[in-house]
Amino acid sequence: MKLLREFLSWLWPIVLGLAVAGGMMLVVQRVRVDGPSMQPNLQNNERVWVLKHAKIHRGSVVVFDAQGVDPQATTKTNYVKRVIGVPGDTVRVKDGQLYVNNKRVKQSYISKYQRTTGTGNWDLASISVKNGWTVNNGATKVPAGQYFVMGDHRSVSNDSRYWGFVPRQKIMGVVKLMPWTGNATTRYNINKFWQHYFE
């Protein structure tokens, strides 16, 4: 009996630890940023936490599986991008200024160069036709259950401008930076910018 009690006292912390770890995996996941498209706020190879059940807002940074969304992603590939438009939104850019539902978006999280270089003037209908979206070609609004996303470094980002909207079921969750990662500015730009989306 004493041997059984000793065995259980050794086994119980392990079982509890595995249960906690398993539960955490249902709520959060660690993901690696691949490429420069989210600079200056996230860097290539940076590891970030993803909250799987967090609410998605305009301005949230999300991780999604691009397979079946971006035609170039032929296998499961995680993309990290910022949500620009939610279902029902109109989106357009004029002279480097971003407008959602005809309201100017605050873009203090990126430089003027990142806002304007290579972006041009467009709205959803014009870029869907120009870039040959295979789904929702000619759309004027973000469809129900889908999101329009872009990288922060617009001139190097492969995003919704080129292949269209991201279905909700493809989104793994919302990126959060921990207090010990990045700096105060990047933590704000990733974690809280969505609260001050419009100018």
Confidence of residue 119 (pLDDT cuts 50, 70, 90): confident
The pLDDT value recorded for residue 20 is 41
Confidence of residue 13 (pLDDT cuts 50, 70, 90): low
pLDDT tens profile 52-90: 999 999 999 999 999 999 999 999 999 999 999 999 999
Angle at 52 between CA 49 and CA 54, to 5 degrees: 100
Q: What is the pTM of this model?
A: 0.85
pLDDT at 16 over 50: no
Confidence of residue 22 (pLDDT cuts 50, 70, 90): very low
How remote is the C-alpha of 157 from its chain's centroid?
A: 12
Q: Which domains does the chain have, with CATH numbers?
A: 2-196 (2.10.109.10)
Mean pLDDT of 172-198: 93
Mean model confidence pLDDT for the chain = 87
The pLDDT value recorded for residue 26 is 53
pLDDT tens profile 24-46: 445 689 988 999 999 999 999 99
Q: Which residues have a catalytic role annotated?
A: 37, 81
Mean pLDDT of 147-151: 97
pLDDT at 21 over 50: no
Mean pLDDT of 180-185: 89
Confidence of residue 181 (pLDDT cuts 50, 70, 90): confident
The pLDDT value recorded for residue 9 is 54
The pLDDT value recorded for residue 51 is 95
